[in-house]
Structure 1
Amino acid sequence: MAGQIPEQDRRVRLLLESARFNEAAELFDQVTATATNAVGEEWDRSTVLAHRALNAWRLGRIPAALELAAEGWTELDNEQPTGVAAAQTIGMLGSLLDTIGHRSSALDLMTRSVEVARDAGDPDTLAQCLQRKAHALLFRATARSDEVDPEEQFAAARELYEEALPLVRADLIRRSVLAGGARALAGAGETEKAECRAQRALRLSQEAADWLSGSLAMWVLGLIRREQGRPEDARTFLSRALDCAEKIQDMLLLARFAQDLSMVCEELDDLVGEAAALRRSLSASRTTVRFLQEGLGQALEQRRAAVQAQQIATAAQAAVLRDPLTNLTNRLGLERRAPGLLEQTAAQGRVPWLVLIDVDWFKEINDEAGHSAGDVVLQELAHLLRRECRTDDLICRWAGDEFVVLLVDASEDSKEAGPIVAERIRAAVDDHDWRLVLGSTEQLPTTSIGVAAGPAELDHLFAAADVALYRAKQAGRNRIEVDRQPPGPPWPAPNR
């Protein structure tokens, strides 16, 4: 893994394992200062992002951890992830999910990472993936849950640790494999071998100031001493393991170690020690819950802000396609939506119709009643169009006093739909009481309408409807004219 992670990112992890949190946080901020996804081309982005997600989680940066994890995940080839980088990324994501408590999915990911690592053929990568899965099984075995069989979990973890140990080249992973493997051996009843391995892990961890692996090793030695009937020595080792877990601020380990220490103190009738251990266990549990609540609260707030920004952006995008006066679709909106609607109409075997509407005498109405009254006329006309058209019909203010209705609803016979809807619109406008809008104005609005059916192309339909509209105007207004009219009666309307 060393060759797959930038030196500064690896340094953050080492600082965390050594309980140097201020230095780790400062360096983490430096490596992510430009952007959370700023990864050099020489590194695999998914692996680096997943590694940073784990570091962010250890630092209490939960929103950043979730964002980094999600981004790293999407970098993978979802169908067939292969290679060293994919194995590392999947394994680290599994570790993060396991820390969060999403254990079933975590174990699935870790199992997949081992499979990918085997295929990749890199021993060190396989060792790391085996170690991650073994750790997960180990802590399931020690959770004292009715949902799992501890013996099976210990046996499975032991097998993984044994496979990983001869493959390891990195010292950090070797210490972790030794310490975890010692606990699995102890759980499997191989006490002598477990103690030897735990002592070795402890010595290497002390030399490297690796408090995480050291705490695991002392935990194992404490449990072994308890099994050997040496509770005082067990209390000493477990107390030191607890201090190390506290030092590196690993609340999950702290809670686990404190529970074991409280049981040893109970055996020794050390009521003070037992109470202190239980308080530390309870405090760790509360800290973990608060940690998660605060972090998830931050993540929720960030998500809320992102959703709000998306809504604003969507509303702004929609506004570009809508006429502000009538709140109908504007010309741009029609041009964008029409091709898909026309294609859908034709695919369903229906005749596409376009209805082109022009307000008669609109200039005279503006001159006589004023432009404000003219705007109200257009708004009233938009209301009438919505009332007379069907739910799925696309209604558009084309320009000025011209409107377009594109018929896509199949609730009426599509071979007659255009003329029927057009006549309904014309009659509604002609019968409308305009006195509330225009008062006693002599000139009241009517409509001339051109209707066209034909090829499922907007330009052709519009051109044909425009020709029909011109005929309606020339024939005296307040009427409809149909281009390529299907068989049936003409649709003239009496002049006002």
Structure 2
Amino acid sequence: MAGQLPAQDREIRSLLDSGRFEEADVAFDELTSIRPNLVGDQWNRATVLVHRASLAWRLDRIPLALELAAEGWTELDVDHPSGVSAAHTISMLGYLLETIGHRAPALELMALSVQVARKSGEKSTLAHCLTREANSLVFRAVGRRNESAAEQFEQARALFEEARTLASPGQVQRSALAGGSRAHAGVGDLDAAERLAHEALRLSGPVRDLFSSSVANWTLAVVRRAQDRLTDARTFASRALDGAESIRDTMLMMRFSLDLASICGQLSDPVGESEALRRTVDASSLAVETLQEGLGQALEQRRVAVQAQRMAMAAQEAALRDPLTGLTNRLGLERRAPVLLEQTAAKGRVPWLMLVDVDWFKDVNDDAGHAAGDAALQEVAHLLRRECRVDDLICRWAGDEFVVLLVDASEESGPAVAERIRAAVDAHDWRLVVGRMKQPPTVSIGVAAGPAELEHLFAAADIALYRAKRAGRNRVEIDDESSTQDESEMPTISPTDSR
């Protein structure tokens, strides 16, 4: 997981796991102060967003946690998830939903993350995902006294065992040891439970891993209680609850405080029982449970709203695109061109407009068929993209006519680009597209320069295009008023070929 997150994110997580919340608060404020540049290109955006959502939740930044989680969920390709980043992201989403009480989809997401992690072939990722799913199963099984609880403990034990074999020394290994100890206790293997719990405590102490040590102490409380050593059980349960409160893990606090109260009740310790129950109320009052369910629903609603907004934006973008070629359509040109012309003029540059018409296009449709005609238009669109810059506006105007608006251009660039386009189409191998036609497609191009409004540029380029057609096609003609140079300085325009 470490390699999937920026260093500052990992540092904040470490501070939280150590119970150093004031330092984590300051570091998180620094991180979110540069939120416009939230995730660089070197990180998977969905993974970082969801991880920061979990950090925000633990820091009681609930609105921000929901916003980040919804945004991260939307970024994720949930239809075809694959790879290490997707596995981590799905797993963290599941665990976050489990934490805030939105349990219905939580376990499904964590199980899915394990499947994605297995396919990725990356051991540390799989260990992370296995541990999260197993922890969730343990907490669902606790408190139940039926066959499903035993099945969940056994399933969790197997997941923890696999995670331990895959994880390298570190937080995941410690968590797998601690959680595995509780799963062993759940299936009645007290010796293995105690051994694993002590090993988890030994490894967690020096690095102040309070999550793992809390779970390990909880296991020892369960073991001592089963052995009827209730005083020791109370001590371990108290240590477990103290650790959970130190890292503000609500799920641990609710479970450990209930167990401590029950042990104190068996010991006839009313003061201890009362205090434990008070801590239970602090962690899991009805109002908190209601809030958690509401937050889970809000998270889902916000995710749907963000997705709907993106779909609406995509629909608006699609309305400005030609479905056949993927180029801007006529409506898109009419909306974008005035802005681009204004920006170009403000920079003191000359806007050039080219009107490109495919020669012999009727022959393509008649001889090769309309499917070949569509393919020919797509090929012309590809050549236009190749010969123009990314910032230039390329439009399919209608039928076999295209418009190219060169932005931020120099005084001589229009005719040069037009000739480059003409030559590219003329030299293109059309056999795979239209077969062996007697007259393969070429283009005639009319060129006009501004500054002027779109309709004026279009009218001037249309006149120049008409001259190119009249002169024999497969040539470039420049609007007379657009030329500001001597003929000797103009780019050489190739004459019509012999076809």
The within-5 A match list for 1:112-191 is: 112-144=112-144, 149-191=148-190
Look up the match of 2:76: 76
Taking a change above 3 Å as real, the CA distance of residues 151 and 36 of structure 1, as seen in their structure-2 partners, is: farther
Q: CA deviation at 1:292?
A: 3.7
Residue identity opposite 1:250 in structure 2: D
| Alpha-carbon separation, structure 1, partners of 2:3 and 2:142 | 34
| Alpha-carbon separation, structure 2, partners of 1:182 and 1:153 | 14
Residue identity opposite 1:233 in structure 2: D
Deviations 1:252-275 (A, max 9, x none): 211211111111111111111111
In the alignment, is the contact (CA less than 8 A) between 1:60 and 1:291 conserved in 2?
A: no
Look up the match of 2:204: 205
Residue identity opposite 1:282 in structure 2: V
Residue identity opposite 1:90 in structure 2: I
| Alpha-carbon separation, structure 2, partners of 1:200 and 1:187 | 18
Q: CA deviation at 1:183?
A: 0.1
Residue identity opposite 2:249 in structure 1: D
TM-score, normalization by structure 1: 0.58
Taking a change above 3 Å as real, the CA distance of residues 82 and 39 of structure 1, as seen in their structure-2 partners, is: same
| Alpha-carbon separation, structure 1, partners of 2:37 and 2:145 | 39
**Residue 45 in structure 1 maps to residue 45 in structure 2:** yes
In the alignment, is the contact (CA less than 8 A) between 2:101 and 2:292 conserved in 1?
A: no
Q: CA deviation at 1:152?
A: 0.7
In the alignment, is the contact (CA less than 8 A) between 1:63 and 1:295 conserved in 2?
A: no
Look up the match of 2:104: 104
Look up the match of 2:59: 59
Q: Secondary structure at the match of 1:189?
A: coil
Deviations 1:208-245 (A, max 9, x none): 11111111110100110111111010011001111111
| Alpha-carbon separation, structure 1, partners of 2:151 and 2:169 | 29
Look up the match of 2:391: none
**Residue 30 in structure 1 maps to residue 30 in structure 2:** yes
Report sequence identity in percent: 57
Unmatched 5+ residue regions in structure 2?
317-330, 336-499
Taking a change above 3 Å as real, the CA distance of residues 24 and 100 of structure 1, as seen in their structure-2 partners, is: same
Look up the match of 2:407: none
Residue identity opposite 2:155 in structure 1: A
The within-5 A match list for 1:12-411 is: 12-35=12-35, 38-144=38-144, 149-286=148-285, 289=288, 292=291, 296=295
TM-score, normalization by structure 2: 0.58
| Alpha-carbon separation, structure 1, partners of 2:287 and 2:157 | 28
Taking a change above 3 Å as real, the CA distance of residues 102 and 143 of structure 1, as seen in their structure-2 partners, is: farther
Deviations 1:379-405 (A, max 9, x none): xxxxxxxxxxxxxxxxxxxxxxxxxxx
Q: CA deviation at 1:104?
A: 2.4
Q: CA deviation at 1:14?
A: 0.7
In the alignment, is the contact (CA less than 8 A) between 1:6 and 1:43 conserved in 2?
A: yes
CA RMSD of aligned residues (A): 3.0
Look up the match of 2:439: none
| Alpha-carbon separation, structure 2, partners of 1:36 and 1:244 | 35
Taking a change above 3 Å as real, the CA distance of residues 136 and 37 of structure 1, as seen in their structure-2 partners, is: farther
| Alpha-carbon separation, structure 2, partners of 1:192 and 1:275 | 31
| Alpha-carbon separation, structure 2, partners of 1:162 and 1:103 | 24
Q: CA deviation at 1:295?
A: 9.3
In the alignment, is the contact (CA less than 8 A) between 1:63 and 1:296 conserved in 2?
A: no
| Alpha-carbon separation, structure 1, partners of 2:250 and 2:287 | 6
Q: Secondary structure at the match of 1:207?
A: coil
In the alignment, is the contact (CA less than 8 A) between 1:91 and 1:109 conserved in 2?
A: yes
Deviations 1:21-71 (A, max 9, x none): 111111112122122661111111111111111111111111111111111
Structure exhibiting the larger radius of gyration computed from Cα positions = 1
**Residue 5 in structure 1 maps to residue 5 in structure 2:** yes
In the alignment, is the contact (CA less than 8 A) between 1:93 and 1:106 conserved in 2?
A: yes
In the alignment, is the contact (CA less than 8 A) between 2:18 and 2:209 conserved in 1?
A: yes
**Structure showing greater relative contact order (alpha-carbon pairs closer than 8 Å, 6 or more residues apart):** 2
Taking a change above 3 Å as real, the CA distance of residues 36 and 242 of structure 1, as seen in their structure-2 partners, is: farther
Q: CA deviation at 1:291?
A: 9.8
In the alignment, is the contact (CA less than 8 A) between 1:251 and 1:288 conserved in 2?
A: no
Unmatched 5+ residue regions in structure 1?
318-331, 337-496
Taking a change above 3 Å as real, the CA distance of residues 292 and 25 of structure 1, as seen in their structure-2 partners, is: farther
In the alignment, is the contact (CA less than 8 A) between 1:252 and 1:288 conserved in 2?
A: no
Q: CA deviation at 1:290?
A: 8.1
In the alignment, is the contact (CA less than 8 A) between 1:157 and 1:181 conserved in 2?
A: yes
| Alpha-carbon separation, structure 1, partners of 2:280 and 2:36 | 35
In the alignment, is the contact (CA less than 8 A) between 1:179 and 1:197 conserved in 2?
A: yes
Farther off after superposition, 132-141 or 205-214: 205-214
Q: Secondary structure at the match of 1:104?
A: coil
Deviations 1:289-326 (A, max 9, x none): 189479959x79x98xx99xx9xxx9xx9xxxxxxxxx
In the alignment, is the contact (CA less than 8 A) between 1:61 and 1:295 conserved in 2?
A: no
